[in-house]
Amino acid sequence: MPTLIFDCDGVLADTERDGHLPAFNETFEEFGLPVRWSDEEYAEKVKVGGGKERMRTLLTPDFVAAAGLPADPAALDEQVAGWHRRKTEIYTGIIRSGSIPPRPGVRRVAAAAHKAGWTLAVASTSAEASVRSVLELAMGPELAAHFSVFAGDVVQRKKPAPDIYAFAVQRLGLDPAGVVAIEDSRNGMLAALGAGLACAVTTSAYTGKEDFTGASLVVTSLGDPPPKETVTRVLSDPLDVRPGPYVVLADLAVLLTVGGASESTTSRPPVDGPLDPGPLGPPHPRPH
């Protein structure tokens, strides 16, 4: 059966600006560190995969001296690990408060995929506790229970290295040709492509201007039909998928066909009906 693997931050919920950034800054304040990241600075930090890795970008000799940090590398690693544990606690509290909504369409599409028998997973280089909190927020407890989660330090190299996706594929016993990854960043896309996966991109708060050459589909969001109604805008469609006002599972199934060229239902991975809108509304017509 085909597989749908979601990234977490920026895909399940737009968590970077309103979740991770304030959690980092609150952590810095609690530990008395002489830094607060601005929105503009954090827009660059998100290009670094992994929270501890972002924190380590601070560790110039001048910063270490100004903050009174140990020069010994092992002791410094312990400091960063402690900062990151606390940051994860703060971040998961923000997520559990419900102040950050799920992104449009993620629950609808995942529910349709589950109903159609697709395998579901999340692959992220964020801490596992953070990923699970966002997954439950976005999907609800019942649907979230059907996801496999691959996160944090289960691999050494973070995105854009393909390791986290290759690890998920290996652990689940998947054929990469049967997997669609949904990402929001160039680094994530490169990781998915490097693992041999098809990749659809839903741009997020910090990634709208990134280069997504190589993605099979780039949209502003998966969108939702009424009553939630968020209309997706197609930014790149090299396979001529031509989704309607919102992306449906059948659109993502096209990405698994050879070059996206075959439109017959027999050549596609199975979906729940020809258009499979999920539980929120009737199908919209495909304008082929």
Decide if 153 is catalytic.
Answer: no
Residue 260 has pLDDT above 80, yes or no: no
How do residues 145-182 score in pLDDT, each as one tens digit?
A: 999 999 988 999 999 999 999 999 999 999 999 999 99
CATH no. of 3-14+101-260: 3.40.50.1000
Residue 262 has pLDDT above 70, yes or no: no
The CATH homologous superfamily for domain 15-96 is Putative phosphatase; domain 2 (1.10.150.240)
DSSP letters along the chain, please? Answer: --EEEE-SBTTTB-HIIIIIHHHHHHHHHHTT-S----HHHHHHHTTSSSHHHHHHTT--HHHHHHTT--SSHHHHHHHHHHHHHHHHHHHHHHHHTT-SPBPTTHHHHHHHHHHTT-EEEEEESS-HHHHHHHHHHHHHHHHHTTEEEEEGGGSSSPTTSSHHHHHHHHHHT--GGGEEEEESSHHHHHHHHHTT-EEEEE--TTTTTS--TT-SEEES---B-TTT-B---EEE-TT-----SS--HHHHHHTTSGGG----TTTSPP-SSSS---TTSPPPPP--
The single residue of 7, 224, 251, 276 carrying the catalytic annotation is 7
Residue 258: pLDDT band (50, 70, 90) is: low
Residue 251: pLDDT band (50, 70, 90) is: very high
The pLDDT assigned to 207 comes to 96
Residue 41 has pLDDT above 60, yes or no: yes
Residue 276: pLDDT band (50, 70, 90) is: very low
Kindly state the percentage of the chain with pLDDT values over 90: 85
Residue 129 has pLDDT above 80, yes or no: yes
The pLDDT assigned to 267 comes to 37
- For the chain, residues classed under CATH 1.10.150.240 are 15-96
How do residues 65-95 score in pLDDT, each as one tens digit?
A: 999 999 899 999 999 999 999 999 999 999 9
Decide if 9 is catalytic.
Answer: yes
Residue 114 has pLDDT above 60, yes or no: yes
- For the chain, residues classed under CATH 3.40.50.1000 are 3-14+101-260
